[in-house]
């Protein structure tokens, strides 16, 4: 049963009001009867008034006139009736209170259950909305990832000859679906002793090359030649020495080309980056050098 139904509430209120009206009418009727009893003398009282003379009594006893006795009996009767109706009214009042309290408790319980159900429905709706929002966010992210620009560098070094500048080649490709804008970054090429780790330091006043391009369209490669300035004489190209070329050929030295390129995706307006490292050697390279080069390679995923 739905105790919160307006029709059920109206019916219960109507029953309670009718019960209280019945009690009020009964009490009013009793009051009218008592008033009539006080105003109109009974037959016995009238007969008692006519019979005023009594023969003398020889017995010593308490004598009460009939009229006084009748008055007392009438008074006792009225009090008994009043007490009865008072008790009756109190019982009806108790039942009315019990009925109203029971109805209120049932209504409160029904409202509490309805509120709990509504709260659960609100929580479920919030969870559904959050899941939908997450789905839209994830879909937007996947759409951006599948349509964004991706800059992929490919590098290599030129043949090593004594007296020639240490130089290399770099090709920037955009295998993504959107154009890349404001491409810039640092690229360095250097010859190291075997076992020596690349520095991976980029910025001004370092032996590196500054790379810059305005736009890279999908599948439109950009080719650049990389040269490195000498550490001690930064205005001159680093020319390979006999010790460096011989050491590379004998496997005691290796060449590393590494850098960091940043660019902007024209569609999402987000900035992206790629870090890379490539090593060239004649025989083999220590594991720690290979691991360091691999760890340096990074690409953003935003």
Q: 260 pLDDT exceeds 80?
A: yes
Strand order in the sheet with 167-173: 152-157, 167-173, 222-227
Model pLDDT for residues 147-173, shown as the tens digit of each residue: 888 988 888 888 899 998 888 888 888
**Fold adopted by 152-299:** Immunoglobulin-like (2.60.40)
Model pLDDT for residues 95-128, shown as the tens digit of each residue: 777 877 887 778 787 888 888 888 888 988 888 8
Average pLDDT, stretch 247-265?
92
Query: What are the backbone dihedrals phi and psi of residue 111, each rounded to the nearest 5 degrees, phi first?
Result: -65, -40
pTM of the model: 0.53
Query: What's the pLDDT score for residue 235?
Result: 58
Distance CA 231, CA 207 (A): 6
CA angle (215 as vertex; 137, 227 as ends), nearest 5: 120
């Amino acid at each position: 049963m739905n105790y919160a139904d307006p029709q059920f509430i109206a019916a219960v209120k109507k029953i309670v009001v009718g019960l209280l009206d019945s009690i009020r009418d009964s009490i009013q009727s009793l009051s009218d009867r008592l008033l009539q009893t006080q105003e109109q003398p009974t037959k016995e009282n009238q007969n008692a008034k006519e019979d005023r003379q009594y023969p003398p009594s020889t017995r010593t006893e308490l004598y009460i006139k009939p009229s006084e006795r009748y008055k007392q009996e009438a008074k006792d009767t009225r009090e008994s009736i009043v007490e009865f109706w008072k008790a009756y009214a109190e019982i009806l009042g108790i039942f009315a209170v019990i009925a109203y309290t029971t109805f209120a408790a049932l209504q409160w319980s029904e409202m509490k259950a309805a509120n709990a159900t509504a709260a659960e429905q609100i929580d479920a709706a919030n969870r559904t909305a959050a899941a939908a929002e997450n789905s839209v966010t994830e879909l937007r992210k996947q759409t951006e990832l599948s349509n964004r620009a991706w800059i992929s560098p490919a590098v290599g070094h030129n043949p090593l000859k004594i007296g020639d500048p240490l130089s290399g080649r770099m090709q920037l490709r955009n295998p993504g679906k959107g154009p890349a804008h404001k491409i810039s970054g640092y690229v360095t090429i250097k010859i190291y002793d075997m076992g020596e780790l690349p520095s991976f330091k980029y910025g001004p006043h370092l032996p590196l090359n500054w790379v810059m391009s305005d736009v890279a369209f999908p599948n439109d490669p950009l080719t650049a030649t990389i040269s490195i300035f000498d550490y001690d004489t930064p205005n001159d190209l680093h020319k390979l020495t006999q010790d460096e070329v011989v050491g590379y050929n004998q496997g005691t030295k290796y060449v590393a080309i590494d850098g960091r390129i940043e660019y902007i995706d024209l569609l999402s307006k987000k900035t992206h980056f790629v870090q890379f490292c490539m090593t060239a050697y004649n025989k083999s390279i220590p594991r720690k050098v290979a691991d360091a080069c691999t760890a340096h390679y990074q690409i953003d995923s935003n």
